[in-house]
Amino acid sequence: MNYRMELQYEGTRYNGWQRQDSTENTIQGKLEQVLCRMTGERIEVQGAGRTDSGVHAKMQVANFHTEKERRPEDIRNYMNRYLPEDIAVTFCTEVSERFHSRLNAKGKVYQYRIWNSEKPNVFERRWVYEYPDKLDIQAMESAAGFLMGTHDFKSFCTRKKMKKKTVRTITGIRIEVFGEEVRITYEGDGFLYHMVRILTGTLIEVGIHERSPKDILHIFEEKDRSAAGFLVPAKGLTLLNVMY
């Protein structure tokens, strides 16, 4: 049996999605613990996106294989009873044997929230980044225009050991202002390690006129991390949706 779950979590307390040998304080680890308890089997959970330490999810997708058939609602209810209160299964359904939440994902939506004010934000402080300097939204929007489309995003990622393909397609960047909040939503076929956070840092540097929107073209040419903007904190980032 193969089950697909939709998940929500507040990433604040966790070392990201991916289970590590050294620590069990990961989202994947917590889910697997509860599933082992339920099934008596050793379960491996596959997540669509391996969110970093401190990153949140409003809609993450994950799947797991198990020998015994169960009602999907029973799985959801069991999980929600035993998971910590900052992780929840919002939906569970049986899927075909071959479904793989990461390999089958066609696109993802991430949102970065900037609290662009000198006042503290008491209620949303765990998932917004406080950046008080005034941002020029129009300049950021024209920079976003240069970012959209298919490019080699090598400059916009922190290099990991393995050399992988760094070409990605961004199908949409929406910048919205809600009162004192600036919310940037990215939609694309996939995102490299730290990519959304470096894109956001670069857009902020355009927003405070440290760069011009056209700098983006230069950053693409350099193919070097140091050409791009700063890495914004993880806590402002939320995985909003996964498309199949």
CA distances from 39 to 33, 35, 42, 82, 117 (A): 10, 6, 8, 13, 48
Under the binding rule (CB under 8 A), the answer on residue 125 touching its own copies is yes
Residue in 88, 139, 231, 240 binding its own copies, rule: CB under 8 A: 88
Stretch of residues binding its own copies (CB under 8 A), selected from 14-22, 32-40, 81-89, 191-199: 81-89
Between 44 and 73, whose beta carbon lies closer to its own copies?
73
Residue in 4, 19, 30, 56 binding its own copies, rule: CB under 8 A: 56
Question: Residue 160 CB, nearest distance to its own copies (Å)?
Answer: 29
Residues 6+ apart with CB under 8 A from 38: 75, 78, 79, 82
Looking at residue 52, the DSSP 8-state letter turns out to be P
Burial of 73 (0-12, 13-18, 19+ CB in 10 A): exposed
Angle between helices 72-82 and 27-39 (to 10 degrees): 120
189 is known as an active-site residue: no
Looking at residue 157, the DSSP 8-state letter turns out to be S
Question: Residue 122 CB, nearest distance to its own copies (Å)?
Answer: 4
What pairs with residue 152 in β-bridges? 167
Under the binding rule (CB under 8 A), the answer on residue 178 touching its own copies is no
Between 13 and 102, whose beta carbon lies closer to its own copies?
13
**List of residues contacting its own copies (CB under 8 A):** 8-10, 56, 58, 80, 85-88, 90, 119-123, 125, 127
